[in-house]
């Protein structure tokens, strides 16, 4: 299934996505490998990558019952740009928000009551199209993604997506059932009431995350250069194993000088991965306990997508990525 235009940022920020701008602007074919990929065990010190190489695994933090480090009310907004000579255009705004203790999700298409013994955390993201280029192409995106997460093991309990793109309007819920060890998807077509709801069940891995939850999960880890985070993700009726490599600490330019940032390298492109096509992705996280995603660059043969945090600090905006660095991958 083709990803929504701006959701691809969620993947790239992974935590999380590029539902790809290039797929909508350039390539009529879906970019996602439809095969489900079993996740390797996170308890080992080493594991095999999807390309067969041995990985040094980063021990994953799971239990946040004593405190969730990301403050309630935190809202991050990112400007998304697409580049392929001679095009260099803003295409959208993506936001991420920690809403705190679970509250009712508007528009939910299933009946769900959180377990009485757990105080779940509610996370939300939105993706909205912006700019002259998408207006000319007739692309209008207003997407919303919500998750309920357990602080006990930081696994997803419920995911909910509302996709509004042009004439398309659908909702999809994913119930991550611990008892039956299944992820139960229900998709409702709101644009055509004659289409019956679609049901699909998948096996649930221990500690399985949705795409939005994965973004926050990566922020909560303790990074060590050279190690790789490996964890299971279920998104849009498919299961995947995600690999995020920890790179070097570098400096990013801002209006207030250079700041330290940790470079992460999500391994999401290539055979057997989330995107079957050739490409590369890098993202930079703040060098502090919150690990705020500051900037992301994803390159494919169809162009380059960049995401830059808008509300970094007052009057300390991140510098634009130089155009000469937006080289295409061929």
pLDDT tens-digit readout, 239-251? 999 999 999 999 9
In the three-class reduction of DSSP (H, G, I as helix; E, B as strand; rest coil), residue 232 is classed as strand
| Chain mean position to CA 238 | 14
Q: How many domains is the chain partitioned into structurally?
A: 1
Q: Please indicate, yes or no, if residue 1 is contained in any of the structural domains.
A: no
Evaluate whether residue 34 is within a structural domain: yes
Whether 121 is covered by a domain: the verdict is: yes
Domain holding 66, by residue range, is 8-325
Nearest to 19 by CA among 231, 229, 235: 235
Where do we find the tokens 């013994």? 117
pTM score of the predicted model = 0.83
Whether 216 is covered by a domain: the verdict is yes
- Within a domain: residue 2? no
Distances (CA, A) of 140 to 14, 107, 165, 209: 24, 20, 5, 28
Q: Could you tell me which of 66, 28, 4 has the C-alpha nearest to residue 302?
A: 28
pLDDT for position 26: 42
- Nearest of 38, 11, 85 to residue 279 by alpha carbon: 11
Q: Note the pLDDT of residue 8.
A: 47
- Does 174 fall in a domain? yes
Write out the H or E segment, with its range, that includes residue 307: strand 303-309
Residue 330 lies inside a defined structural domain of this protein = no
Which residues lie closer than 8 Å to 98 by C-beta, 6 or more apart? 68, 70, 71, 72, 73, 74, 75, 121, 122, 123, 216
Is 3 part of any domain?
no
Calpha distance 127→60 (Å, rounded): 28
pLDDT tens digits, 125-174: 999 988 876 776 777 889 999 999 999 899 999 999 999 988 999 999 99
Residue 26: closest CA among 316, 309, 321, 302: 302
């Amino acid at each position: 299934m083709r990803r929504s235009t701006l959701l691809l940022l969620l993947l790239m920020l992974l935590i999380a996505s590029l539902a790809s701008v290039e797929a909508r602007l350039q390539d009529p074919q879906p970019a996602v490998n439809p095969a489900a990929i079993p996740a390797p065990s996170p308890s080992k010190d080493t594991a095999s990558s999807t390309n067969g190489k041995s990985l040094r695994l980063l021990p994953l933090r799971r239990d946040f019952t004593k405190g969730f480090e990301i403050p309630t009310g935190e809202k991050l907004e990112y400007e998304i740009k697409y580049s392929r000579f001679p095009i260099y255009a803003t295409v959208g705004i993506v936001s991420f928000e920690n809403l705190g203790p679970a509250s009712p999700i508007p528009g939910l298409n299933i009946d769900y009551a959180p377990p009485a013994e757990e105080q779940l955390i509610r996370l939300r993201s939105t993706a909205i199209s912006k700019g002259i280029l998408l207006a000319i192409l007739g692309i209008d995106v207003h997407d919303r993604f919500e998750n309920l997460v357990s602080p006990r093991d930081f696994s997803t309990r419920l995911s909910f997506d509302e996709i509004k793109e042009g004439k398309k309007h659908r909702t999809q819920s994913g119930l991550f059932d611990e008892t039956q060890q299944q992820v139960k998807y229900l998709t409702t077509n709101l644009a055509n009431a004659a289409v019956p709801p679609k049901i699909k069940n998948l096996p649930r891995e221990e500690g399985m995350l949705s795409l939005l939850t994965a973004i926050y999960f990566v922020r909560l880890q303790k990074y060590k250069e050279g190690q790789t985070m490996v964890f299971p993700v279920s998104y849009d009726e498919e299961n995947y194993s995600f690999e995020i490599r920890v790179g070097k600490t570098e400096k990013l330019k801002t209006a207030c000088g250079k700041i330290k940032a940790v470079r992460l390298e999500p391994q999401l492109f290539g055979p057997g991965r989330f995107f079957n096509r050739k490409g590369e992705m890098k993202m930079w996280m703040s060098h502090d306990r919150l690990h705020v995603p500051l900037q992301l660059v994803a390159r494919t043969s169809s162009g380059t997508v960049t995401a830059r945090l808008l509300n970094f600090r007052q009057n300390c905006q991140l510098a634009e990525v130089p155009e000469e660095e937006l080289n295409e991958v061929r």
